Amino acid sequence: MKSLVLPTVKFTEEQNEFRKEVRQFLKDEEAKGSFERTCDTWLNGYSEEFSKKIGAKGLIGMTWPKEYGGQERSMIERYIVTEEFLAAGAPVALHWIADRQSGPLFLRYGTEEQKQYFLPKIAKGECYFSIGLSEPNSGSDLASVSTRAEKTEGGWILNGSKTWTSGAHHSNYMITLCRTSPQDPNNRHAGLSQLVVDLSAPGVTIQPIQYLTGAPHFNEVFFESVFIPDDRVVGEIGNGWKQGMAELAFERSGPERILSTFPLLDEMIEIFKENKDENGLKEATKLLARMWSLRSMSIGVAKMLEEGEEVGIIAALVKNMGTEFEQSVPEIARLLISCQPRLDGESRFERFMAQSILHAPGFTLRGGTTEILNGIVAKGVVNS
Ligand SMILES: Cc1cc2nc3c(=O)[nH]c(=O)nc-3n(C[C@H](O)[C@H](O)[C@H](O)COP(=O)(O)OP(=O)(O)OC[C@H]3O[C@@H](n4cnc5c(N)ncnc54)[C@H](O)[C@@H]3O)c2cc1C
């Protein structure tokens, strides 16, 4: 069996200085009231003003070429920024998908016109994307998607629907996986394509679905004869499966798979310190040790992505272990500190507990379920 080798990353002095700057910026913004610290903000913290502010600071699309609005910084520097945003519980959901995967998708497969049109807007924090994969009858088995596009003069006519689309009600565009030729029983992955759907186009209907918290979060999105111009096809017609899978590697291994409940963990440690609770601190140390190991793995994957290496299997492994960790934080907190979790609770701990408990079931579903990712890891091990 092949062993797992991940690069070790040691932050440079410059990178540590950069982290301090980002942390100070976030502290100042929180103190100014720009945001209220919350758990799981990469999926639920929406603020156009804040997204534009950090876009103006050059903290979105930061690894992209300068000609497309990027900063040509390293994946490790991007990792530092995303980690600090999550740890601070800052509202980053609006631009998160575009920064993490739609932008890199355009860079890899997009036309020059698409890069010039979309990337600078994304980097400014003023253009938002959502992920159009899941459908009412296709979740884990994505190759079975039935949303279809048929060729017409100058473009494609799209019909079908997507579901569980995070943030579609706030987004400008959706990268939509759809069928552009009939299913081939000998190759289930053939005939799929990725189209950029303008969510304000005629024929698009967006219906929000309430999250467990009661807030609108994800959506059902219906397409009724929506015209998609030829220049809004991403990459090649028929290559959608391969492109979509490459996109998922960016999606699965980042700090957002470890830190969704970090504000709760941090608050819990503060309470233990205040109460000089030795046992509580001992339990928190165990969580921190787990977090530290996962973080090292996740940073190793960021390095591999930078070097253009294949990360599919290790990203799946990190996602599974990371999301299990995120879910365990409220479970352990519940056993150590007695409280009545409430979204409108008076203390931060009560609020963070309620947010974490209500969001946690989704951690191991979004971005691919634990069972599916275990399958990817198992197949990878068998084939190695
Ligand atoms: C918070 C949240 C946000 C989301 N955001 C988006 C989004 O923005 N865009 C988007 O496209 N989707 C999104 N999703 C949908 C998500 O990707 C799907 O829920 C997920 O892929 C599972 O699909 P499903 O819900 O259809 O479940 P199913 O595929 O029906 O699976 C049901 C259960 O069966 C298990 N299962 C299925 N097949 C197998 C198998 N072969 N072997 C073993 N077990 C199996 C699964 O693990 C699961 O436990 C989001 C989901 C959540 C929870």
* DSSP string across 335-377: HHS-----TT-SSHHHHHHHHHHHHHHHHTTTTS-HHHHHHHH
Q: How far is the CA of 252 from the centre of ligand 1 (A)?
A: 14
Same structural domain, 69 and 146: no
Same structural domain, 160 and 108: no
- pLDDT tens for 267-301 read 999 999 999 999 999 999 999 999 999 999 999 99
**Helix spans in the chain (H):** 13-32, 41-44, 48-56, 75-88, 93-97, 103-109, 112-123, 240-252, 262-274, 278-306, 312-336, 348-363, 370-383
Name the residue of 100, 365, 370 to mutate for ligand 1: max ligand atoms within 8 A of Cβ: 365
**For position 269, which CATH number holds?**
1.20.140.10
Q: How far is the CA of 335 from the centre of ligand 1 (A)?
A: 29
pLDDT of residue 383 exceeding 80, the answer is: no
- pLDDT tens for 3-42 read 778 899 999 999 999 999 999 999 999 999 999 999 999 9
Q: How far is the CA of 134 from the centre of ligand 1 (A)?
A: 8
Which numbered atom of ligand 1 lies nearest the CA of 370?
A: 47
The residue from 93, 127, 161 where one domain ends is: 127
Q: How far is the CA of 53 from the centre of ligand 1 (A)?
A: 33
pLDDT of residue 240: 96
pLDDT of residue 185 exceeding 90, the answer is: no
Which numbered atom of ligand 1 lies nearest the CA of 133?
A: 11
Q: How far is the CA of 179 from the centre of ligand 1 (A)?
A: 19
Q: How far is the CA of 269 from the centre of ligand 1 (A)?
A: 33
* Alpha carbon nearest to ligand 1 atom 48, residue: 369
pLDDT of residue 333 exceeding 80, the answer is: yes
pLDDT of residue 251: 82
Q: What six digits make up the tokens of 318?
A: 């990190």
Mean pLDDT of 103-119: 97
Which numbered atom of ligand 1 lies nearest the CA of 375?
A: 42
pLDDT of residue 328: 97
Confidence band for 325, pLDDT divided at 50, 70 and 90: very high
Domains identified in the chain, total number: 3
Same structural domain, 187 and 117: no
Task: Tell me, yes or no, whether 246 lies in a domain.
Answer: no
Confidence band for 382, pLDDT divided at 50, 70 and 90: confident
Same structural domain, 33 and 103: yes
Confidence band for 252, pLDDT divided at 50, 70 and 90: confident
Angle between helices 348-363 and 312-336 (to 10 degrees): 140
Q: How far is the CA of 68 from the centre of ligand 1 (A)?
A: 34
Phi/psi of residue 229, nearest 5 degrees = -65, 155
The residue from 239, 264, 281 where one domain ends is: 239
pLDDT of residue 108 exceeding 90, the answer is: yes
Mean pLDDT of 351-364: 97
Average pLDDT score over the chain: 95
Least confident of 54-63, 169-178, 246-255: 246-255
Task: Tell me, yes or no, whether 1 lies in a domain.
Answer: no
Q: Give the list of residues 6+ apart from residue 104 with CB closer than 8 angstroms, or none.
A: 247, 250
Q: Which residue has the higher pLDDT, 249 or 85?
A: 85
**For position 120, which CATH number holds?**
1.10.540.10
Mean pLDDT of 193-201: 98
pLDDT of residue 148: 97
Query: Which residues are near ligand 1 (CB < 6 Å)?
Result: 130-134, 139-140, 164-166, 218, 362, 365-366, 368-369, 371-372, 375
Q: Give the list of residues 6+ apart from residue 107 with CB closer than 8 angstroms, or none.
A: 64, 65, 68, 115, 119
| Range among 147-156, 184-193, 212-221, 373-382 rated most confident | 147-156
pLDDT of residue 3: 75
Q: Residue 303 is part of which domain span?
A: 253-383
pLDDT of residue 78 exceeding 90, the answer is: yes
**For position 205, which CATH number holds?**
2.40.110.10
pLDDT of residue 384 exceeding 70, the answer is: no
Same structural domain, 154 and 204: yes
* Alpha carbon nearest to ligand 1 atom 31, residue: 140
- Residue 197 CA neighbour count, 13 Å, CB half: 37
pLDDT of residue 18: 98
Task: Tell me, yes or no, whether 4 lies in a domain.
Answer: no
The residue from 239, 270, 293 where one domain ends is: 239
pLDDT of residue 1 exceeding 70, the answer is: no
Q: How far is CA 77 from CA 10, 84, 168, 233, 303, in A?
A: 12, 11, 28, 31, 10
pLDDT of residue 381 exceeding 90, the answer is: no
Task: Tell me, yes or no, whether 52 lies in a domain.
Answer: yes
Q: How far is the CA of 303 from the centre of ligand 1 (A)?
A: 28
pLDDT of residue 356 exceeding 90, the answer is: yes
Same structural domain, 270 and 216: no
Same structural domain, 288 and 370: yes
State the Cα torsion 332-337-340-346 to the nearest 10°: -120
Same structural domain, 113 and 50: yes
Question: For a pLDDT cut of 70, what percent of the chain falls above it?
Answer: 99
Name the residue of 188, 319, 366 to mutate for ligand 1: max ligand atoms within 8 A of Cβ: 366
